[in-house]
Amino acid sequence: MSIASMIANHGQTISIQTKGSGSTDSSGGIIEAWSSATNSTAFVQVRAGGEAIEGGGERYAPTATIYIEGVSSIGIKDRIAYDSRTWSVSSVRTPDERSTGDSLAYTIVEATEVFG
């Protein structure tokens, strides 16, 4: 089954949030801001991730491959909200980077779940 038909038959609505201008709090910490969301149709494949190390401790980090219908204006460090979970985009592969016949049908995104 092709990716285009997987999106058509099993596609879900996702919300793409682009990174806005952030600010700094009183102690010098960075406060991130996200713009209003754009909805798209996508096929999402969630898989078990590796054990990421943060602050000296191991943390389970699920990853997802997201196939977005059409050409999407999404970039690295944008976020995707799907199924009550938030995902941070780590790579984007646009249709013009592929040479196959169905290259105009979808954008491929790799993302890692954001906690907290």
- Domain CATH code at residue 27: 2.40.10.270
**Residue 80 confidence (pLDDT) above 80:** yes
Residue with structure tokens 């196939």? 67
- Token digits for 110? 């790799």
The count of structural domains within the chain is 1
Instruction: Give the residue from 93, 67, 99 showing the smallest Cα distance to 80.
Output: 67
Band of residue 48 on the pLDDT scale cut at 50, 70, 90: confident
**Residue 57 confidence (pLDDT) above 70:** no
Containing domain of residue 88, as a range?
3-114
Q: Is the dihedral of CA 91, 92, 97, 103 positive or negative?
A: positive
Give pLDDT, residue 37. Answer: 79
Over range 23-52, report the average pLDDT: 80
Q: Is the dihedral of CA 99, 94, 7, 86 positive or negative?
A: positive
